[in-house]
Amino acid sequence: MSDGGQVKKGGASREEAEEQVEATTKTTEDSKELLDDVDELLDEIDDVLEENAEEFVKNYVQKGGQ
């Protein structure tokens, strides 16, 4: 990310710069939360997924329907 460059660009006032830094930090936190969330979801899939996937998938045979 080019945060540093953005902060300095155009001689922004100190306040603006602080705001931007804050915003950037927030975005990083958001994406971390998002990643944690995905991790939790994938943990959950590992928990509920049929244990012997290979055998289950092999045995999953349906009769043709409409």
Partner 1 sequence: MAIPKYVGTETEFGIQVVGPTDVNPVLASSLVVGAYRSATDDVRWDHTDEHPLRDARGYAEPDAHEPPSDDELGLANTVLTNGARFYVDHAHPEYSSPECSNARDAVIWDKAGERILEDAAARAAVTLPAGSRVLIHKNNTDGKGAAYGYHENYLVPRGIPFPRLVRELTPFFVTRLLYVGAGRVGNEFALDDVPFQLSQRADFFEVEVGLETTLKRPIINTRDEPHADPERYRRLHVINGDANLCEVATFLKVGTTMLVLDMIEDDALPPPPVLREPVADFHRVSHDLTCRVALRTDDGDTVTPLAVQWHYLEAAKRYCKDRDLDPVTADVLSRWEAVLTTAEEDPRRLAGTVDWATKLELLEGYRDRHGLAWGDAKLAMVDLQYHDVRRDKGLYNRLVARGKVDRLVAESEVQAAITSPPEDTRAYFRGTCLAKFRSHIVAAGWDSLIFDTGRDALQRVPMMDPGRGTKAHVGDLLDRVTTPAELLDALTG
Residues lying near partner 1 in the complex (CB under 8 A): 37-38, 41-42, 44-45, 48-50, 53-54, 56-66
Which residue has tokens 């045979």?
Answer: 61
Which pair of tokens denotes residue 65?
């329907």
Residue 13 vs 59, nearer CB to partner 1: 59
Q: What is the DSSP string of 21-66?
A: HHHHHHHHHHHHHHHHHHHHHHHHHHHHS-S-HHHHHHH-------
Instruction: CB nearer to partner 1: give 15 or 54.
Output: 54
Least Cβ distance, residue 45 to partner 1 (angstroms): 6
Nearest approach in angstroms of CB 3 to partner 1 is 25
